[in-house]
A and B are shown apart, each in its own frame.
Chain A
Amino acid sequence: MKFIFDRNTWQEIFGSISKNKTRTIITIIGVLWGIFIYIALSGAAKGMDNGFEKVFESVSMNSMFVWGQNTSMPYEGFKTGRPMQLKLGDAAMLENRIPEINYIAPRINLGNFGTEPVFTVRGQKSGTYPVNGDYPIYTKIATKQIFDGGRFINDEDIAQARKVCVIGERNVQELFDKDEEPIGQYIRIGDVYFQVVGIHKLSQGVSFDSDAAIFIPFTTFRKLYNTGENVDYFCIAAYDDVDVVQVEKDVKALLRNIHRVNPEDERAFGSFNLGEAFARVSGFAKGMTFLSLVVGLATILAGVIGIGNILLISVKERTKELGVRRALGATPAEVRNQIILESVFLTMIAGIMGIILGAGVLSIINNLTKDLDFPYTNPTVPIPYVLGALLIMVILGTLIGLIPAQRAVSIKPIDALREE
């Protein structure tokens, strides 16, 4: 193995590859392309994965929603088709009886589920927007980014049923002039004036609220619209280490119990499980990552085989040169080592260039998609993957280099010299 560290060996190899430029360039392009595709693909897949993760970032991953529907079975003298109405008291009951629940937020809404949105006026401008009655705890489940200077609904608002509201970016655009500061201003929602206390920023991806949703305290909502104890739906966040699917079942079972519904009745309450939905999407992203890995490795393989091919052709072309070298005293081992080292060296150089190029393209894509509404964030390839690819290339480069090397030494020098 001493020859690897011998400066002379490398000078000889460098001489050989630098003076056969076309061959070298074609060879390098083959592997460079392979590793470039590998890095770009797996980086992009990772970026997508990260992007999805970011989309779900604004929502507690372990959360679910439950709402009332109509019963589908008669029970305890009640006939079938009885409409279910969730009550505020259910929340306390659920929280007490199901310890897996971390947060529970009752919500009530106008404008989203078949009800009319509310006509909202400010000065000469107006619009119709959905209005939500909310508790502060809602932000624990669906993070609301509030612009500087504002706030979300707080406990005091709830206790005093204050007429305050948090509005969306679109509300601001449509109700206020460009340079106006909306916070502290009053808008008329329905027949009542509300003071704007905050503006929420639309979180990308999974959001249940549009950029024109108005939030008011739950207590204010129920007073205003005379909804009493009624709740449209509960947002429930379970603890992180809990199986939210089980919580979903428990919640529905308990609600059936509270509302005197047949325990077998699956249709009385509807629910949606975000954990499952997220698992599906992230499974897709994982699949993409795996696919890109396979495609990338296949491309690398193709590139390395390309190198082998070109080296094999060049050995044919160089038969005479190798014959001369052997006539001058090169041992078969020296000839073989030279060809293998040429192959490994070219693979390495091409691989490193491909990695640099791939990383460059990834960073360009990252910059281009930064401000777009596209689930793509921080495309990276883990260092072990990069090193692994490089290692695979070197090993394959060696193996593939062996084929032409073996061919080069299997020809008798006399035959090599005779070949014209």
Chain B
Amino acid sequence: MIEIKNLHKSYKMGKNSLHVLKGINFSVEEGELVAIMGSSGSGKSTLLNILGMLDELDEGTYTLDGVPIKNLNETKAAQYRNKFLGFIFQSFNLINYKSAAENVALPLYYQRVGRKERQEKALKYLEQVGLKQWATHLPSELSGGQKQRVAIARAMAAEPKVLLADEPTGALDSKTSYEVMDLIQKINDQGNTILVVTHEEDIAHMCKRIVHLKDGVIVEDKKVEQVRAEQYV
């Protein structure tokens, strides 16, 4: 599903260049649930941004579902993001003047899906995250966990190949975190490929595979026994 070879990325800060990713080789199969771990500054968010086509790589190759991702202009990148990827952010990034259902329907709007179908699909995914009765509420009327579940529904709505979650539980307390992880596990059970960036050990162990990043290189890549989040909920 994801194939990365010899990935380099550096940021220019004035005269200095900051080499963030120093040759990453990494691949993800369909249906995997991968945790990317590392302390802050290890390059894990940069890696996720490159995977999400929000940022460009300097060197190396990136293949997503057999499609080489390189030299993308913004329009092409936007289309690929829309078709291949679903994003889940630490700060939820819901549009505050749109209701939960409208937020979920937004990626479908950019897929040129008709209004009626958008609404139906939005409700279907909201139901999946258990928030159907909150469909008409604004994000400001929802709790943090609910917001994140709306965001997950939104990421799912476009039916992407890969879900990318950047610290999805970073802004949540542990009980809500486990609820969100439970949801992510269930989505993974349905066969979706999910990448989760986290620095929390317990969250990482709820995935099936942990990739450790340190100073821009992968220091460890191991399969783990998945801890089901269900038992903590």
* A24–chain B nearest beta-carbon distance, Å: 11
CB pair B54–A15 under 8 Å, yes or no, is no
B107 CB-CB contact with A under 8 Å:
yes
Q: Which residue of B lies closest to A320 (CB)?
A: B93
In Å, the complex CA distance between A327 and B91 comes to 14
**Is the CB–CB distance between A414 and B97 below 8 Å?**
no
Contact A414 B98 (CB under 8 A): no
Chain A residues in 8 Å Cβ range of B102? 15
Tell me the chain B residues, 66-105 only, with Cβ under 8 Å from chain A. 74-75, 78-79, 81-83, 87, 89, 91, 93-98, 102
B232 contacts the other chain (CB 8 A): no
Contact flag A20-B97 (CB < 8 Å), given A11-B115, A328-B106, A413-B54: yes
Cα(A8)–Cα(B95), bound, Å: 18
- Whether a CB of chain B sits under 8 angstroms from the CB of A332 is yes
- Taking a contact as CB atoms under 8 Å apart, the answer to whether A414 and B54 are in contact is yes
Q: Tell me whether B75 and A16 are in contact (CB under 8 A).
A: no
Closest residue on chain B to residue A414 by CB atoms: B54
Of A12, A323, A332, the contact of B75 (CB 8 Å cutoff): A332
Q: Is A331 an interface residue (CB 8 A)?
A: yes
Closest to A420 in B: B91
| Residues of A307-366 contacting chain B, CB below 8 A | 320-321, 323-334
Query: B154 near A: Cβ within 8 Å?
Result: yes
Identify which of B55, B74, B98, B106 contacts A19 (C-beta below 8 A).
B98
Residue of A nearest to B166 (CB): A417
Say whether B93 contacts A417, CB under 8 Å.
yes
Q: Is the CB of B82 within 8 A of A324?
A: no
Can you name the residue of chain B whose Cβ is closest to the Cβ of A12?
B109
Q: Are B109 and A8 in contact, CB atoms less than 8 angstroms apart?
A: yes
Q: A323, A325, A331: which has the most chain B beta carbons within 10 Å?
A: A331
- 24 inter-chain pairs at a CB distance below 8 angstroms, sorted by A residue, are A8-B112, A11-B115, A20-B97, A320-B93, A325-B106, A325-B110, A327-B93, A328-B81, A328-B107, A328-B110, A328-B158, A329-B79, A329-B81, A329-B110, A329-B158, A331-B79, A332-B74, A334-B78, A334-B110, A412-B54, A413-B54, A414-B55, A417-B54, A417-B93
Q: How far is the CB of A173 from chain B (nearest CB, A)?
A: 70
- Residues of chain B contacted by A412 (CB below 8 angstroms): 54-55
Interface assignment of B111: CB less than 8 Å from any CB of chain A? yes
- The docked-state distance in angstroms from the alpha carbon of A84 to that of B93 is 97
Q: Mark A387-418, 1 if CB is under 8 A from B, else 0.
A: 00000000000000000000001001110010
Interchain CB contact under 8 A, B97 and A19: yes
Instruction: Collect the chain B residues with CB atoms within 8 Å of residue A320's CB.
Output: 93
- Chain A contacts of B95 at CB under 8 A? 321, 324-325
Cβ contact of A329, chosen from B55, B98, B111, cutoff 8 A: B111
Distance (whole angstroms) from the CB of A337 to the closest CB of chain B: 12
Q: Give every chain A residue within 8 A of B79 (Cβ-Cβ).
A: 329, 331
Q: Which residues of A contact B (CB under 8 A)?
A: 7-8, 11-12, 15-16, 19-20, 320-321, 323-334, 409, 412-414, 417, 420
For chain B, residues 43 to 76, give those with C-beta under 8 angstroms from any C-beta of chain A. 49, 52, 54-55, 74-75
Given A8-B109, A414-B55, also A326-B93 (CB < 8 A): no
In the bound complex, residues from chain B placing their C-beta under 8 Å from that of A329 are: 78-79, 81-83, 107, 110-111, 158
Q: Known A-B contacts: A11-B115, A414-B55. Give 14 more (CB < 8 A).
A: A8-B112, A12-B109, A324-B93, A324-B95, A328-B110, A329-B79, A329-B110, A329-B111, A330-B82, A332-B74, A412-B55, A414-B54, A417-B54, A417-B89
CB <8 Å contact, A330 and B93:
no
Q: In the complex, A323→B55 CA distance in Å?
A: 13
Look across to chain B and name the residue whose beta carbon is closest to the beta carbon of A21.
Answer: B97
Evaluate contact between A328 and B98: CB separation under 8 angstroms: no
Once bound together, how far apart are the Cα atoms of A12 and B93, in whole Å?
A: 18
Chain B residues within an 8 Å CB radius of A328: 81-82, 87, 106-107, 110, 154, 158
Q: Which of B52, B74, B111 is the most central at the interface, judged by chain A CB atoms within 10 Å of its CB?
A: B74
Q: In the complex, what distance in Å separates the CA atom of A15 from the CA atom of B74?
A: 25
Q: Is the CB of B98 within 8 A of A15?
A: yes
What residues of chain B lie closer than 8 Å to A16, measured between beta carbons?
97
A327 and B54 in contact (CB under 8 A), knowing A321-B95, A417-B93? Answer: yes
CA distance A323 to B153 in the complex (A): 18
Known: A11-B115, A417-B54. A327 touches B87 (CB 8 A): yes
Are B78 and A326 touching (Cβ within 8 A)? yes
Chain A residues lying within 8 Å of B55, measured Cβ to Cβ, are 412, 414
Name the 6 nearest CB pairs between A and B, nearest first.
A329-B82, A19-B97, A414-B54, A329-B110, A331-B78, A328-B107
B40 CB, min distance to chain A CBs, angstroms:
14
Residues of A within 8 A of B112 (CB): 8
A326 to chain B, nearest CB (A): 6
Question: B109 — which chain A residues lie within 8 A by C-beta?
Answer: 8, 12
Inter-subunit contact A333/B93 (CB<8 Å): no
A412 to B52, CA, bound (A): 13
Given the complex of chains A and B, what is the CA–CA distance between A413 and B54 in angstroms? 6
Are B115 and A327 in contact, with the CB atoms below 8 A? no
B residues in contact with A19, CB < 8 Å: 97-98
| CA of A333 to CA of B95, assembled, Å | 20
Q: How far is the CB of A23 from the nearest CB of chain B, in Å?
A: 10
Contacts of B78 in A (CB 8 A): 326, 329-332, 334
Would you give the shortest CB distance from A6 to chain B, in whole angstroms?
9
B75 vs chain A, min Cβ distance (A): 4
List A contacts of B52 (CB < 8 A): 327
Q: List, in ascending order, chain B residues with CB within 8 A of A327's CB.
A: 52, 54, 81, 87, 93
Contacts of B94 in A (CB 8 A): 324
- Please tell me if the beta carbons of B97 and A333 are within 8 angstroms of each other in the complex: no
Q: Which residues of A contact B54 (CB under 8 A)?
A: 327, 412-414, 417
